[in-house]
Structure 1
């Protein structure tokens, strides 16, 4: 078995030297929105120090002949990197940058050298055509036009949502920032390429790299440095103390790194720079080493903050005031963890003896428990209950609004560092900069609450929990399985109770808060129910669903109408605004009663194209399509030809008289199968594809 390993920048990996394919036995693409967003945020931060490489792990490949390799380990990163590059390419306006970005994911070909034009990465057979057509070949407009029933697999769903997520995150950057990001991606991101000519050998390599010979964690490095100047007996004792503190955090390297990165922020008031070990040794440990007070660091810094971290992991089991425990559980609803250092600071500065030997903030569980909750409370020394509550409530509010406004992880870390700096100075919570909410932040959050939230199930669930608890004026115990489900079905049929709805009304409300309700159970329970009364009855069947007042309200409505969803939308937004105290401005004007477009204009929201689906009606209103003109889809080889007419209401009418509100829906109805609607329909007047017209609209508006 021949093995080779080389470290290479991404710009040397996405080249004709490597033609990657995903074997059929590999699992599908499973990365979710939070995974790709974390990668983008990490790369955005790393790009600020362009001379420092960002190591993205290893690829384990099997040679298949020539430049062709099967990917044994690394599929998730290769697919996600391709998605990020595709989004950068689509957002680009400079033809040269577009060409260079395109060449990273699609081999442009060279007839003279016998190099074929083909994608650099081929997915499993089930998803390969989808990924190539929509992502690699640059049909993002068509991808944005797809609806849930156009996906043939979960991998295609993940590809779609992650592409929209990457597009929106990168669209928030300026052109110069995107160019710096792209340049760093190509030159600063490195991978170790491990190749072998034997599949069994590749699996053995994978096993060794992932299961054995694990590298030292930051905790191991810092412990060794901290104890290096002690005598053997003393070092043994403090090594045991260190292990007692750190072992409960687990041995997940990423989690341990995150803990020390946040501890570095708490001590230095600076976000991590990407050089965790060097920065922590120099800026946190070295002053204690120089002063001979390492034991004070272990007892007074490491121990209390490690215990605070454990509380954040399991707040429901901690002996905290009810209001603090409730807010910590709400904070754990967020996928990002940038709130954690502030919460850790609040816990450590509220309990005088947190992390002390023999003191546990957790309730004993099980038949052999020897210490009661009352005993534990007597041991813990909570000295500032009110300030703990104020900090955590302000932190949850700031985190929620930052999430709604899609602030990057880099921005959120910067705000956390600023908050800790002000808290250490003793500022009142209302004056802590990192916990404050500006007028523009407030307006931006309200504008976002009015919009579509497709593909953001976790955010919808989080928002509905806050709205329902605000309406109930109390904490609501959540069932183990809790989903945010749509009141309307994904498709409306002529035989259902939604037959009177127009397609425009359905499309407008489908992914808005007014159409969502909290329900015990999963989405599967409603999949085949198309009538409102059957969907409502299924939602209300369980008592755990009826705990939530906005869900229980459905019992009072015998029909679902646009007016009903509008009323639910307005009430939900008002409740969330009240929960986070963003309903009124400085002049006590009710912002939830203002026109949302005017609100956005008044606060000069940054214009972004975003990945939101462009509708036929919008293109007609902009004059880029004219009612009455015809579109054609031809398949000469199959002898098939379909014609559609643009209506004045912003729909496509097929020759049988049926009308559709999206090009993809019209293509699906015409051919009987899912198709790339924006690419197949062409305007008869000039032969121009709809994808070009749609992109022109996005660039203009």
Structure 2
């Protein structure tokens, strides 16, 4: 290993080409990172600092003095290329433009043809980088940017941030700043000669606290098993890019965590990439077979994420699960989708999963108790147990009596109050109807929390008020922020407010209240009984 201080101008010179190897993470710097780098270098420039250090560039020398794989420093190196390319585009002096152009995309001085760029990104992003950075083609319009993958979105946003920064400078200042960037900004340039050292360096960098994701390290484990075979590297990179396309780079760690649990049915005992080490090392068929399984799981994970189920009952159950304050239910569902249980339909499994999850949420079980149920389900699925044995796991961990007693008591202010009311709203509708709710929802007390109006004091005493105030029967859903106008009024005025809110978002259970002439203890009790009956039908595990 050899390390030396080098200027940006020195590392981006001659015929040197830097490549981002397939085991590396994609470009991920955000515009605030780029602006910070620009502002820091600009401050050093204005202060006439003799040198400004921006970190290290650790490489593997693939071809002596010419070609290097970037192990660490990709984010800074890519950003430097973006900055120099934009400086090239903004300066008007032909000689200065040529000097800057050589630092990102050299040209043959005799033929004028472009040569190999100084930096080659991942194959998936190189075409975009070539068009919009090296060749200065216009950036995609905002209407099309949602179709770009995350690295391409970052490149687009960062180019605009750079334009915003340097676009304010006059021509002379731009040339002086560009010269400072090339001649006075330093990196520690580290060269190694072994491709195998990439895996070791990645882990050393991670131990130093570098921002490597678990997905980066897991990917690196897979590539390390190929021992530098370029053909296999390219094939594996294509498979990994397919995985990124399915899930998205920003969600990879989350998915891989759920996938691990869906296989292991146990709590993690170490970091995610450490847990995957034993899985990958022991996987029959090697890294390609492992990725085939992961890609299948990724497709099923996105079905869960996007609620891509055909029947209304499945969609309702999944929507209800997404309202739960934790996502521990995802691994058993993922495990089932990856390895379906013969004789147990998706709709039935989702129905049972919603029932046990809602029961345990309302019962306020601790995390360990909740996970016990899910781990047993995963184990039964992976062991190819019969449908009766899998359903038996749900039955064994249900507690219908405790659940209904708690649901029949005071629920207002509990973590699950809105989720319960929304799900009962759906349960009261036809099975073919699927509604989604967005925006702010308010839980309204029909009988108000303070009995200030004569209407309420004539119908409820202190004891009945305390008994029914926070129970299901006295609660209604409204859209928007809390309506303080309605909180103490008599029943007729409250109904008018409810009907006015109904024009924005319609809740059938709230509209039913408006059909009543009076809100008495008898009416409240009848509504409580009806909602509990709905809850039994929705969440009872027989």
Q: What is the 5 A alignment of 1:673-688?
A: none
Equivalent residue in structure 1 for 2:490, among 515, 531, 535: 531
Structure 1 residue 515: Cα displacement: 1.0
The secondary structure found in structure 2 opposite 1:485 is strand
The secondary structure found in structure 1 opposite 2:477 is strand
Q: Does 1:417 align with 2:413?
A: no
Deviations 1:129-159 (A, max 9, x none): xxxxxxxxxxxxxxxxxxxxxxxxxxxxxxx
2:268 maps to which residue? 272
2:390 maps to which residue? 432
Q: Which has the higher helix share?
A: 2
1:340 maps to which residue? 330
2:235 maps to which residue? 237
Structure 1 residue 276: Cα displacement: 3.0
Distance of 1:215 and 1:511 partners within structure 2:
47
Q: Does 1:471 align with 2:428?
A: yes
Q: Provide closer, same or farther for how the CA distance between residues 329 and 494 of structure 1 changes in structure 2, counting only shifts above 3 A.
A: closer
The secondary structure found in structure 2 opposite 1:444 is helix
Distance of 2:359 and 2:309 partners within structure 1:
28
Deviations 1:22-58 (A, max 9, x none): xxxxxxxxxxxxxxxxxxxxxxxxxxxxxxxxxxxxx
Q: Does 1:331 align with 2:321?
A: yes
Q: What is the 5 A alignment of 1:105-120?
A: none
User: Contact (CA 8 Å) 1:483, 1:521: kept in 2 or not?
Assistant: yes
Distance of 2:240 and 2:437 partners within structure 1:
38
Distance of 2:392 and 2:260 partners within structure 1:
17
Distance of 1:553 and 1:343 partners within structure 2:
35
Q: Does 1:313 align with 2:305?
A: yes
Q: Provide closer, same or farther for how the CA distance between residues 435 and 498 of structure 1 changes in structure 2, counting only shifts above 3 A.
A: farther
Q: State which structure, 1 or 2, has the greater radius of gyration over its C-alpha atoms.
A: 2
Equivalent residue in structure 2 for 1:287, among 282, 286, 295: 282
Distance of 2:464 and 2:436 partners within structure 1:
32
User: Contact (CA 8 Å) 1:259, 1:309: kept in 2 or not?
Assistant: yes
Q: Provide closer, same or farther for how the CA distance between residues 270 and 439 of structure 1 changes in structure 2, counting only shifts above 3 A.
A: closer
Structure 1 residue 336: Cα displacement: 1.0
Would you say how many aligned residue pairs link Structure 1 and Structure 2? 330
User: Contact (CA 8 Å) 2:243, 2:298: kept in 1 or not?
Assistant: yes
Q: Provide closer, same or farther for how the CA distance between residues 487 and 343 of structure 1 changes in structure 2, counting only shifts above 3 A.
A: same
Alignment TM-score, normalising by the size of structure 2: 0.55
User: Contact (CA 8 Å) 1:261, 1:272: kept in 2 or not?
Assistant: no
Q: What is the 5 A alignment of 1:385-396?
A: 387-396=345-354
The secondary structure found in structure 2 opposite 1:517 is strand
The secondary structure found in structure 1 opposite 2:500 is coil
User: Contact (CA 8 Å) 1:545, 1:552: kept in 2 or not?
Assistant: no
Structure 1 residue 516: Cα displacement: 0.9
Structure 1 residue 395: Cα displacement: 0.7
Distance of 2:335 and 2:396 partners within structure 1:
23
Q: Does 1:297 align with 2:293?
A: no
1:575 maps to which residue? 534
User: Contact (CA 8 Å) 2:225, 2:287: kept in 1 or not?
Assistant: no
Structure 1 residue 309: Cα displacement: 1.9
Structure 1 residue 439: Cα displacement: 8.1
1:517 maps to which residue? 476
Distance of 2:327 and 2:491 partners within structure 1:
38
Distance of 1:222 and 1:467 partners within structure 2:
43
Structure 1 residue 557: Cα displacement: 2.0
Equivalent residue in structure 2 for 1:400, among 333, 354, 358: 358
1:225 maps to which residue? 221
Distance of 2:301 and 2:443 partners within structure 1:
29
User: Contact (CA 8 Å) 1:422, 1:433: kept in 2 or not?
Assistant: no
Equivalent residue in structure 2 for 1:502, among 461, 467, 470: 461
Deviations 1:319-378 (A, max 9, x none): 63444333222221211111101221233335xxxxxxxxxxxxxxxxxxxxxxxxxxxx
**Higher-RCO chain (CA-CA 8 Å, sequence separation at least 6):** 2
Distance of 2:482 and 2:258 partners within structure 1:
36
Structure 1 residue 576: Cα displacement: 0.4
Deviations 1:668-694 (A, max 9, x none): xxxxxxxxxxxxxxxxxxxxxxxxxxx
Question: Structure 2: which 5+ runs fail to align?
Answer: 1-208
User: Contact (CA 8 Å) 1:419, 1:434: kept in 2 or not?
Assistant: no
